[in-house]
Amino acid sequence: MKIGIGVNHHFDKKYINLYMATLIVHPKDKEQLTIIKTFMKAFKISFEEAKSPYDPEFVAKIQESREQVKRGETREVNIADL
């Protein structure tokens, strides 16, 4: 999940958007995401959360497949056997 963050420090009108930045955050899990959001809310930092265009079930299957590869749970298939 990605989160875009806009930070504005309005000390004086001539400095509006001088400190504007966009950050892309990659939390490892839902707990980290919750902590990041809580932190930003506490410091009154505005943020937008972009939803994934992918079906959560599909993403879970891909993640499981990646874990299987890490564990060596793969097999080779010859093209002639297809």
Instruction: Kindly report the average pLDDT of the chain as a whole number.
Output: 82
For 3-17, write each residue's pLDDT tens digit: 555 555 545 555 555
How does 53-82 read in b/e, with b if 16+ C-beta sit within 10 Å?
eeeeeeeeeeeeeeeeeeeeeeeeeeeeee
What is the rounded distance in angstroms from the CA atom of residue 41 to the CA atom of residue 2?
A: 17
pLDDT band of 18, cuts 50, 70, 90: low
| Longest distance between any two alpha carbons in the chain, whole Å | 70
**Cα distance between residue 46 and residue 40, in whole Å:** 7
Across 15-23, average pLDDT: 69
Backbone angles phi, psi at 40, to 5 degrees: -65, -40
Q: Would the pLDDT of 68 be above 90?
A: yes
What are the residue boundaries of the structural domains of the chain, listed by start? 2-81
